[in-house]
Amino acid sequence: MFAELGQYQFEVLAAYGATILLIGGIVALSAASSAAALRKLNELRSLEKRNE
């Protein structure tokens, strides 16, 4: 199958690789910040409960 890529093998691979890297990056970042926000919210909530 890679033979079919022929003379443009590098370009096609680079384009797919770059896109997957960029999109994977923003997905990972979004997921990480979402998890962090949830953790902080839960911490603060329990802190508030304890204060009461």
Q: Give residues in contact with other proteins (CB under 8 A).
A: 1, 4-9, 11-12, 14-16, 18-19, 22-23, 25-27, 29-31, 33-34, 37-38, 40-41, 44-45, 47-48, 51
Q: Minimum distance between the CB of residue 15 and other proteins, rounded to whole angstroms?
A: 4
Q: Rounded to whole angstroms, how far apart are CA atoms 36 and 42?
A: 10
Q: Minimum distance between the CB of residue 27 and other proteins, rounded to whole angstroms?
A: 7
Q: Rounded to whole angstroms, how far apart are CA atoms 11 and 5?
A: 9
Amino acid letter, residue 21: L
